[in-house]
Amino acid sequence: MGDANEEELYKRAQMDERLRVEEQTRQRALDLEKFRQQEDARKAAEEAAKKANMVADPEPAVAKWPDDGFQAAAPGRLDGIKGALGIGAAGDAALASRLLNDGRPPATEAVSGRPGAEGGGVRERVGAVLNAGVAKPAVER
């Protein structure tokens, strides 16, 4: 065994080695962090260069009608029942189909000026409003 001086020297050498290893570890961590920051900056610059050449950013693949090419799932057997009952998206589609395919053009009376159930078309009502302040002759020829 050794004396007290040798033990003290051994403890100091161990402490110095531990401090040296801790300092090396800390320095490596700092170097690694600096490297990561440089890599992130480089990647950001590359992405910016790529985006500068793009016409538009790509859109996410979500269901948007009609021009993104996304197709919904094929209707199943339950969708027919939901459409007949008017439930959910299948009911909305069934209602739109009935409205489009019932053979009646929408709002033809208001557009054409034909008299409807309320007793006069648009032209007659507008004419009555415009001619309300015009004096009529007492005797018509």
Find tokens 């189909």 and name the residue. Answer: 97
Other CB atoms within 10 Å distance of the CB of residue 119: 8
- pLDDT higher at 17 or 65: 17
Tokens of 40: 């992130």
Provide the pLDDT confidence category of residue 73 given band limits of 50, 70 and 90: low
Nearest to 116 by CA among 105, 128, 124, 126: 124
* Of 94, 75, 78, nearest in space to 86 by CA: 94
Q: What is the DSSP letter of 104?
A: P
Res 20: pLDDT: 96
Residue 77 has pLDDT above 70, yes or no: yes
For residue range 21-53, list pLDDT tens digits in order. Answer: 999 999 999 999 999 999 999 999 988 888 766
Record the pTM: 0.32
Q: What is the amino acid identity at position 131? A: N
7: pLDDT strictly greater than 70: yes
| Rounded distance between C-alpha atoms, residue 49 and residue 126, angstroms | 62
